[in-house]
Amino acid sequence: MEMPRPAPDEKWIRGLPKAEVHLHLEGCVPYGLLEPAAAGSPPVPVEDGIPLLAGLSALLSYLDWSCGQMSRGEQLERIAYAVAERARANGAGHVDVIVNPTHWPHWRGRLPAMVDALDAGFRAGESDHDVTSKLCVSLKRTQSKAEALELVEVLLDLGHPRVAALSIDGNEEDGRASHNERFAPAFERAAAGGLRRCAHAGESSGARGVREAVEMLGAERIDHGIRSIEDPSVIALLVSEEIPLDVCPTSNVLLGVVPTLAEHPIRRLREHKVRCSLNTDDPLLYGIDLAGEFRRSAEAFGWGTDELGEMARVGIESCFAEEDRRRSLSAELSAYLSP
């Protein structure tokens, strides 16, 4: 008879070398930095600094409200620094941070200044906490083809080493249409200009959205992607193309994409040999951290050190850090798992 294994302890989980690859800057704005009195009350109720989000649309409106108050470079610098600080406290040596300029109206037309402010925070975070960071600058699903191409041109002109990738997030209109054909030219131009590519799919879209993100956008990683489980041919595509999923189990439960953690498809996806990493998505909106995500998953799915180690491995191998950084994090992980 197979004996249930004890969950790895908190110290082991926290110390496990990791990289976080699905983390929105917008979900890292502390409530304490906001001024509901001056800016008008938030679009959703907030309890103890945590917004009560009924789903993805509520979350996106909340982000417009919160990020809409961030007008000063020092605020962005502080948010970026805190990302690195929290990453270290959770054992992560690298973070790929998604930033969607449409949520930040004070920075409209000033993306280079926005990147500079974030870069200052990330640089300080790297020197104080030995955490490297890259930005995945994100389109919103509702943007036009011309807006998408314009963003890519700005990024390529800027050529900032902090910017690693083009991303796309927002609401995929409940699976009715993800409009990938509209964004294909921007992603093609990004690839030709040397940017990496990731895409939200298989969260508010079904498995078809995942297939299109791979085939039409050339996504190298899929953010969420969990609804791939609905179509065996999409699972086969992810496996054959070795496309990893950046999974965020707590986010999926809180936004109603899956009913409970126990019913989350990550276990079945892994059984089908789909590579999955564990991530927080919007940690300050959900009141979670990365180590907690590993712990909760271990408890819910009966995972031990092997499974958590594999998930950390996928995060590190699929992150957009410089090659030598990726290699050294990978070596750190190997040493931790086989001391």
- Binding residues for Zn ion (CB under 5 A): 281
Give the integer Cα–Cα distance in Å for 79 and 25.
8
Query: Minimal CA–CA distance to 103: which of 164, 163, 43?
Result: 43
Instruction: Please identify, among the stretches 20-28, 107-115, 186-194, 324-332, the one whose residues bind ligand ADE according to the rule CB under 6 A.
Output: 20-28
- Our finding on whether 22 is near ligand ADE (CB under 6 A) is no
Interface residue with ligand ADE among 170, 206, 283, 315 (CB under 6 A) is: 170
In 10 A of CB 17, how many CB atoms?
A: 23
In 10 A of CB 338, how many CB atoms?
A: 7
In 10 A of CB 47, how many CB atoms?
A: 8
CB 118, CB 162: distance < 8 Å: yes
Interface residue with ligand ADE among 20, 21, 25, 26 (CB under 6 A) is: 26
DSSP annotation of 194 reads T
- Our finding on whether 80 is near ligand ADE (CB under 6 A) is no
Interface residue with ligand ADE among 13, 29, 53, 56 (CB under 6 A) is: 56
- The contacts of residue 317 (CB under 8 Å, 6+ apart) are 244, 326, 330
In 10 A of CB 54, how many CB atoms?
A: 13
Instruction: Please identify, among the stretches 23-31, 145-153, 187-195, 287-295, the one whose residues bind ligand ADE according to the rule CB under 6 A.
Output: 23-31
Q: Residue 199 Cβ, how far from ligand ADE at the closest point, in Å?
A: 10
Positions 271 through 330 that interact with ligand ADE (CB under 6 A): 281-282
Q: Residue 324 Cβ, how far from ligand ADE at the closest point, in Å?
A: 30
Q: Residue 143 Cβ, how far from Zn ion at the closest point, in Å?
A: 16
Q: Residue 60 Cβ, how far from ligand ADE at the closest point, in Å?
A: 6
CB 166, CB 193: distance < 8 Å: no
Question: Residue 83 or residue 333: which is nearer to Zn ion going by CB?
Answer: 83
Contact partner, 27, from Zn ion, ligand ADE, none, Cβ < 5-8 Å per class = ligand ADE
Q: 40 — phi, psi (to 5°)?
A: 90, 150
Contact partner, 125, from Zn ion, ligand ADE, none, Cβ < 5-8 Å per class = none
Q: Which residue's structure tokens are 């906001």?
A: 34
Question: Residue 93 or residue 101: which is nearer to ligand ADE going by CB?
Answer: 101
Positions 219 through 258 that interact with ligand ADE (CB under 6 A): 251
Coil vs helix vs strand at 223: strand
CA distance readout (Å), 262 to 99, 235, 254: 30, 21, 13
**Which residue intervals of 96-228 are DSSP H helices?**
111-129, 145-158, 180-192, 207-215
- Our finding on whether 96 is near ligand ADE (CB under 6 A) is no
DSSP annotation of 107 reads G
- Our finding on whether 200 is near ligand ADE (CB under 6 A) is yes
Evaluated on CA atoms 113, 115, 118, 124, the torsion sign reads negative
Question: Residue 169 or residue 212: which is nearer to ligand ADE going by CB?
Answer: 169
Instruction: Please identify, among the stretches 21-29, 157-165, 180-188, 292-300, the one whose residues bind ligand ADE according to the rule CB under 6 A.
Output: 21-29
- Our finding on whether 20 is near ligand ADE (CB under 6 A) is no
- Our finding on whether 27 is near ligand ADE (CB under 6 A) is yes
Interface residue list for ligand ADE (CB under 6 A): 24, 26-27, 56, 59, 169-170, 200, 203, 251, 281-282
